[in-house]
Amino acid sequence: MSAFANSHSLAGPARYACVAPGSSVDRGVAARVPIMGILNVTPDSFSDGGRFHHLDAALSGARMMAGDGADVVDVGGESTRPGAQPVGLADELARVVPVVQAIASELSVGISIDTSKPGVMEAAVAAGATMINDVLALRADGAIETVRDLQVPVCLMHMQGLPRSMQNHPRYDDVVSEVREFLLGRIDACVSAGMDEKNIIIDPGFGFGKTLQHNLALLAHLDVLVDTGVPVLVGLSRKSMIDAMLGRPMDRRVAASAALAMIAVQKGAAMVRVHDVAETADALNVAACIAAAGEHTAE
């Protein structure tokens, strides 16, 4: 987890005291992977579009996420849902910069900027963002050079196609190996440009140009990406794959989202990106306490 441990804003595994408030029983302190809370300041995101579109609502949402256990808040000003249309630079800046500034001035939480535009990356980091999350894996002109110069952690995500068309019949011969090779290629490009590999995180891009079977294969074989030695971020929260498996509408996907986050962590994910922070934190904290108890018993 070098990208987290070496960042001044992402301090590595979160620590959780395995003891209920008011209890005298000391169950020790467990470590769990960091949780990234999703804060979309857009009118059209697939799950919470419009909910955090205004500054006061966005800051309130960030406060709640931090209080619920988020280690990082991921601020996004351009929807990347299937069918989404591009947003201009000025509009995206107007959406995200005030929010990043407000969070940075009030909360002691890591701030990620979810963008593919170098101009937004620069402005957001200047405003207080401490990480970049790019669905294009720094393929936009000037993006690699910008992140290299900013010297902050970056998450490189795999996506087949672009948001407006990515779910139009995605096809792979071997989705796991193809995603792996793409991400390794992007890592090589970044390192060749002068970036520190310790600042790189990878994301297989669940739901971004992938069918249900592609998503399931990637999760089942997440170890293939984990074995690269680069930290893996997983975002499965409220995805349409839950509806495909269980027939659940958007407002009834919390339990399945927490279960998917747990499975991803058990398979080696170094961070999970979620909408429902409290529920995910509870699930991961319980697992961490059990793991800590097992380690204590073995000693």
User: Is 117 a known active-site residue?
Assistant: no
Decide if pLDDT at 124 tops 70. yes
Identify the architecture of domain 34-298 in CATH.
Alpha-Beta Barrel (3.20)
The proportion of the chain whose per-residue pLDDT surpasses 90, expressed as a percent, equals: 74
Measuring CA to CA, how many Å separate 47 from each of 75, 81, 251? 14, 9, 9
109 phi, psi to nearest 5 deg: -135, 150
pLDDT band at 17 (very low <50, low <70, confident <90, very high): low
pLDDT of the residue at 162: 75
User: Residue 4 above 60 pLDDT?
Assistant: no
Pair of tokens at residue 8:
């001044």
Phi, psi of 168 (to 5 degrees): -85, 85
> What pLDDT, in 10s, does the model give residues 243-295?
999 999 999 999 999 999 999 999 999 999 999 999 999 999 999 888 888 77
Residue 33 and residue 160: Cα distance in Å, rounded? 27
SS (H, E, C) the chain: CHHHHCCCCCCCCEEEECCCCCCCCCCCEEEECCEEEEEECCCCCCCCCCCCCCHHHHHHHHHHHHHHCCCEEEEECCCCCCCCCCCCHHHHHHHHHHHHHHHHHHCCCEEEEECCCHHHHHHHHHHCCCEEEECCCCCCCCHHHHHHHHCCCEEEECCCCCCCCCCCCCCCCCHHHHHHHHHHHHHHHHHHCCCCHHHEEEECCCCCCCCHHHHHHHHHCCHHHHCCCCCEEECCCCCHHHHHHHCCCHHHCHHHHHHHHHHHHHCCCCEEEECCHHHHHHHHHHHHHHHHHHHHHHC
Q: pLDDT at residue 161 above 70?
A: yes
pLDDT at residue number 11: 42
More confident residue, 165 or 101: 101
- For 221-235, the pLDDT digits (tens) are 999 999 999 999 999
Q: 220 Cβ partners below 8 Å, 6+ apart?
A: none
pLDDT at 151: 97
Share of the chain above pLDDT 70, in %: 84
| pLDDT at residue 45 in the model | 52
**CA–CA separation, 76 vs 235, rounded Å?**
14
Q: Are 136 and 159 in contact (CB under 8 A)?
A: yes
- In this model, does residue 20 exceed pLDDT 60? no
- Give the chain's mean pLDDT: 88
Higher-confidence position of 35 and 170: 35
pLDDT beyond 90 at 99: yes
Reported as a single tens digit per residue, the pLDDT across 54-83 is 899 999 999 999 999 999 999 999 987 777
Give catalytic status of residue 239 as yes or no.
Answer: yes
Burial class of 13 by CB neighbour count within 10 A (0 to 12, 13 to 18, 19+): middle
Question: In this predicted structure, what is the pLDDT of residue 25?
Answer: 47
Residues 121-149 have a mean pLDDT of 98
| Token digits of residue 22 | 């008011």
Could you tell me which of 293, 291, 271, 298 has the C-alpha nearest to residue 70?
Answer: 271
